[in-house]
Structure 1
Amino acid sequence: MHTIEVVLAMLVAVVASGYLVRILPFSLPLPLVQIALGALISGVFKRGHALEPEVFFLLFLPPLLFLDGWRIPKQGLFRDKGAIVELAFGLVVFTVLGAGLLIHWLIPVMPLAVAFALAAIISPTDPVAVGAIAARVPFPKRLMHILEGESLLNDASGLVCFSFAVAAVMTGSFSLAQASLTFLWVAFAGLAIGVVVTLGVSTLQRWLWRRFGEEPGAALLVNLLIPFAAYLLAEEFEASGILAAVAAGISMSYVELSGRVSGSMRVQRTAVWNTVQFSFNGIMFVLLGEQLPGIVQRAVATISVTGHHEWWWLLIYVTAISVTLVLLRLVFVWLSLRWNLLRARMRGEQRAHTPTRVVLAMSVAGVRGAITLAGVLTLPLLLPSGEPFPARDLVIFLAAAVILISLLAASVLLPRLLKGLELPKDDSARREEDLARKLSSKAALVAVEKVRQQLVEGQPTARMQLYNDAAARVSLLYQRNLEKGQGPDEDPGKVRRMEQAYRSLRAAGLNAEREELFRLVRHGQLSDEVARRLIRNLDLLESRQRD
């Protein structure tokens, strides 16, 4: 019963955070509000929940990483694959070496392998936290795609480095050759398993639909279970379950391109996944807040291992590590950009220099999150000899503090760094949308005419006129898309205002229709079954209108 109460309390806290972030007179990112609520629950009301990292990983990370891989823009992911791989793997190794050496120098009593473990677990950026921060800042789209791609892939490299460092602490030895081979297996096997699971499940599901018909409820449940299947199967083969979940999500986006899923199921699936994403994201950060009071208490109690007894030394450690992470990221990003510019010049290409403020913003945008917390909490309690794991509580505190500092720094500095920044106008997305609307409308007009000819063939005159009128009404909708294209001299602002006015008027009409249907049901003039069907159609129209 206690577990059910904890889950319900978490969900209430998540709901409250969604309203608080709108009510508060000052602007705060949603993750910070959720962390504060978690700390309040644990520190004031003494209702904290002891986090089990393995359960945390299994329940929360696979579906969220699956969804991030599913929804991330694939064109940007593959277009900037070079920069993403450099950040996701090169920057992680660079951070582990640089930050690990600094931590060992700053806290000499912390063994070098433990310092490397701490540096490894704070090296990955968190896709959830990055998205939450960037949603409040006018971040350049292309750079946002790079950050999203990096945060999806660097989890595996950071966690693998972390596991190697912990193994070195436990065994007292480390083999670079063995570690490299293990890393290759963990990464590539994880990616392959994720792809195979998604393609296999989707193929089986389509066969079942053809033989026995489509069952929306079962299809939605299968879709929710895919990331867990990919994660568990990869872990069974000692590969990266995180990369498997990401690869499963990316594969699902290509499976969806087959267009074999009905529109109504897509609407239902989107609503379900949006709810899962909001709930799980919120629960992760509430859990992080709940762990903070206990982590701080244990860190203060064990600070004596560093040779200092004053609590403010913890602030010095956290500040030094956080600043080092930003500086290491800044150096690596700058060197990466210079190297890419040099290669472009060698190929005879001309590329514009990235503004300095954007480089600084990318350095500050390296936000850490729940993956760091869950990973660091898996540190063993004891060494094989029976002695306590060196500085375990201090390592956990420093990792949790770095998460908070990175969230605060990004919330405060990113809006200031990007304020008033003028970037080259990129209207490629608008051109693609206009072209897609025109081509799809032309295809729709051809299909409508083909069906009209089939319907009127051999029909009496009255029925032919009915079909012709219906076809004309449908064709008019698509003709609008062909005729409202923006001319070269037309004011873009005028076009945008016209579209906004059209959507507002259309939304008002749909709302009025729904209200009238509800009124008819309340007065017994319309059955529930018919009303649900009509309202469902209006909901689909409204969702299409918003898109």
Structure 2
Amino acid sequence: MQIVFTVLMLLLAVAMSGVVSRLSPIRLPLPLFQIAIGALLAAPAFGLKVRFDPELFLLLFIPPLLFVDGWRIPKRQLYQLRGPILALALGLVIFTVVGVGYFIHWLIPAISLPVAFALGAVLSPTDAVAVSAIVGKNRLPPKLQHVLEGESLMNDASGLVAFKFAIAAVLTGSFSLWQASLSFLVIALGGLAVGGALAWLLSLGRRMVARWTDDEPAIQVVLLMLTPFAAYLVAEHFGVSGILSAVAAGIAMTYTESGQGSSAMRLQSNSVWSMLEFVFNGMTFILLGLQLPSVIGLAHADAREAGNVPVWHLFAYVVAITVALIALRFLWVWVTYHLKSFRMLLQGSPVRKVNTWVILTTSLSGVRGSITMAGVLTVPLEISAGVPFPGRDLLIFLATGVILCSLLLGSSLLPLVLPKVPTPVETMKEKEEREARLRLALAAQAGLEQAQARMDRELADDDAKAMLADIAATLAQIYRNRIDAESDTAEIAQRANQHRNFERDLRMAAIYAQRTELYRLRDARLIDDDVFAVLLRDVDLAENWLSGPLVSKH
């Protein structure tokens, strides 16, 4: 019963965090509100206690979140930007582990160098979801957004693998760079292979189930939801990266599901994943907040045992480490940008001027999140029987503090820096969307003409032919308006968009009138609840369609 109550409280907290963030006069990112709500629930007045199991957390929350990120990330941009993504997800991780590790050891001599490397490794993964929560969706330049999303997908695995090697070095007292590099390749490539293979097999299985169940969407959606967990568990069973396996499964699903499945299944799965994404992301930060009081208390006790270190020193360490992380990230991005420019100069290609504001935005976007929290909590309690792990509670406090500090710095500085970053008037995405809408409208127009000609030949009745011609003319006008809306001529596009806005407003008015009458019929008991549900669904679908991006941005 206690578990059920705790889960319900967490779900309520996630829902309330969304309400509070909307109503709050202070504009802060949603994760900060969720952390604050978690800390409030852990206070003695509420006393909600949740034992944080890192292994369970990594299994329950991380695979589905990374799976859906891999599924939704633009694959073409992921391939085109593979250079900067890998430079951040692999090169910067190693640079961070070494650089921050030495800095932490210098700053806090009580933390040995191997333990400092472990802390640097667990601080290397970034959280693109938190960045989106800070700046808002589609506020970052598209190219930078794709780089940050790709980095976040990949560096979760590279950071945690580096963390495991550092912890192993602390426990055994030995470290082999060659063996660690080879193991990393096996773990990473193995995880990618397992995820891709499982995505293909499970997609094949879902198609078979769809044939056996008359394409029932609910069954397929449930099977789809199990895919990231299967990818993670199978990969971990074979000793490879479960995180990369979940990412690979999400990326591969784009291709294995291409042209497959019904529209009902796609609509339901998108709705379910959107809800789960909101709930799981919210729970990760609320759980982080729930750990705050105990983390601060244990770290204070740990610091006192190490030499009666004042509490304010602990917070100063957090700020110093956060600033060091941002500085190292800035240095890495600055060097890679200039190396790329130098290489293009040698090749005779046109060289773009390096924009410092872009580099600064990239540096401030290295916000830490739930992976860091889950990773640091897996630090073992003991090195060996009866020998406690040195400074474990202090490590957890420092990692948690860096998460909070990076969120606060990002939320206060990114909105100031972002307006100075140049953005194209019309992004490539908007241009492609406009051209694709035009092609779709032209294809629909051609298909309509072919269908009308075929049906006209099959009809013998003149009245039926006249009815068909009227319907075809009405539909043809709709697609002509859509073609005009995507026109390169501004006047034609503006007039077509005005026509569609009028049409949308009139249709919305008709839908509201339908819904009002439908509720009146139900309340007067003139129709049954089953009939009411069917008709209400039709009205809701019509409104949902009208609420979409029907009007061109051009």
Q: TM-score, normalised by structure 2?
A: 0.94
Q: Any conservation in 2 of the 1:42–1:48 contact (CA below 8 Å)?
A: yes
Aligned equivalent of 1:73: 74
Aligned equivalent of 1:193: 194
The DSSP-based 3-state class of the residue aligned with 1:383 is strand
Aligned equivalent of 1:537: 538
Aligned equivalent of 2:265: 265
Aligned equivalent of 1:204: 205
Aligned equivalent of 1:284: 284
Q: Any conservation in 1 of the 2:218–2:265 contact (CA below 8 Å)?
A: no
Q: Any conservation in 1 of the 2:198–2:231 contact (CA below 8 Å)?
A: yes
Distance 1:494-1:293 versus aligned 2 partners, 3 A rule: farther
Aligned equivalent of 1:511: 512
> Per-residue deviation at 1:112?
1.1
Q: Any conservation in 1 of the 2:299–2:394 contact (CA below 8 Å)?
A: yes
Aligned equivalent of 2:552: none
Distance 1:493-1:530 versus aligned 2 partners, 3 A rule: same
Q: Any conservation in 2 of the 1:344–1:350 contact (CA below 8 Å)?
A: yes
Q: Distance in 2 between matches of 1:450 and 1:498?
A: 26
Could you give the per-residue CA deviations for residues 113-137 of structure 1, whole angstroms, max 9, x where no partner exists? 1110000000110232122223178
1:163-174 correspondence to structure 2 within 5 Å: 163-174=164-175
Question: Does the alignment pair 1:9 with 2:5?
Answer: no
> Per-residue deviation at 1:321?
0.5
Distance 1:360-1:502 versus aligned 2 partners, 3 A rule: farther
The DSSP-based 3-state class of the residue aligned with 1:352 is coil
Report which stretch shifted further, 290-299 or 176-185. Answer: 176-185
Q: Distance in 2 between matches of 1:280 and 1:240?
A: 21
Q: Distance in 2 between matches of 1:158 and 1:266?
A: 33
Q: Any conservation in 2 of the 1:66–1:246 contact (CA below 8 Å)?
A: yes
Write the letter of the residue equivalent to 2:2: H
Q: Distance in 2 between matches of 1:455 and 1:530?
A: 33
Could you give the per-residue CA deviations for residues 61-110 of structure 1, whole angstroms, max 9, x where no partner exists? 11111111111122221121100000000000000000001111111121
Write the letter of the residue equivalent to 1:277: E
1:43-62 correspondence to structure 2 within 5 Å: 43-44=43-44, 45-62=46-63
Q: Which consecutive residues of structure 2, in runs of 5 or more, have no partner in the other structure?
A: 550-554
1:440-519 correspondence to structure 2 within 5 Å: 440-456=440-456, 457-490=458-491, 503-519=504-520
Distance 1:421-1:505 versus aligned 2 partners, 3 A rule: farther
> Per-residue deviation at 1:423?
3.1
Report which stretch shifted further, 392-401 or 173-182. Answer: 173-182
> Per-residue deviation at 1:208?
3.0
1:80-229 correspondence to structure 2 within 5 Å: 80-135=81-136, 138-229=139-230
Q: Distance in 2 between matches of 1:137 and 1:224?
A: 27
> Per-residue deviation at 1:148?
0.8
Q: Any conservation in 2 of the 1:108–1:306 contact (CA below 8 Å)?
A: no
Q: Percent identity?
A: 45
The DSSP-based 3-state class of the residue aligned with 1:159 is helix
Write the letter of the residue equivalent to 1:186: I
Could you give the per-residue CA deviations for residues 370-399 of structure 1, whole angstroms, max 9, x where no partner exists? 110011001100112420001000000000
Report which stretch shifted further, 340-349 or 132-141. Answer: 132-141
The DSSP-based 3-state class of the residue aligned with 1:48 is coil
Distance 1:84-1:17 versus aligned 2 partners, 3 A rule: same
> Per-residue deviation at 1:186?
1.0
Q: Which consecutive residues of structure 1, in runs of 5 or more, have no partner in the other structure?
A: none
> Per-residue deviation at 1:507?
3.5
Q: Distance in 2 between matches of 1:124 and 1:271?
A: 28
Q: Any conservation in 1 of the 2:131–2:365 contact (CA below 8 Å)?
A: yes
Q: Distance in 2 between matches of 1:175 and 1:252?
A: 37
> Per-residue deviation at 1:50?
1.1
Could you give the per-residue CA deviations for residues 456-487 of structure 1, whole angstroms, max 9, x where no partner exists? 40442333333333333333322221122333
Write the letter of the residue equivalent to 1:257: S
Distance 1:257-1:503 versus aligned 2 partners, 3 A rule: farther
Q: Distance in 2 between matches of 1:42 and 1:316?
A: 24
Aligned equivalent of 1:402: 402
Q: Distance in 1 between matches of 2:137 and 2:431?
A: 25
Report which stretch shifted further, 514-523 or 234-243. Answer: 514-523
Distance 1:160-1:500 versus aligned 2 partners, 3 A rule: farther
Write the letter of the residue equivalent to 2:161: V
Q: Any conservation in 2 of the 1:267–1:540 contact (CA below 8 Å)?
A: no
Aligned equivalent of 1:371: 371
Could you give the per-residue CA deviations for residues 174-226 of structure 1, whole angstroms, max 9, x where no partner exists? 11111111101111111111111111111122133235421111111011100
Count of paired positions: 546
Q: Distance in 1 between matches of 2:505 and 2:328?
A: 48
Q: Distance in 1 between matches of 2:376 and 2:80?
A: 33
Write the letter of the residue equivalent to 1:110: I
Q: Distance in 2 between matches of 1:439 and 1:242?
A: 38
Q: Distance in 2 between matches of 1:286 and 1:80?
A: 33
Write the letter of the residue equivalent to 2:15: V
Q: Distance in 1 between matches of 2:138 and 2:305?
A: 41
Could you give the per-residue CA deviations for residues 28-74 of structure 1, whole angstroms, max 9, x where no partner exists? 11000000000000024221211111111111111111111111122
Q: Any conservation in 2 of the 1:130–1:148 contact (CA below 8 Å)?
A: no
Report which stretch shifted further, 354-363 or 17-26. Answer: 354-363
Distance 1:203-1:353 versus aligned 2 partners, 3 A rule: same
Report which stretch shifted further, 430-439 or 332-341. Answer: 430-439
Q: Distance in 1 between matches of 2:460 and 2:196?
A: 51
> Per-residue deviation at 1:489?
4.6
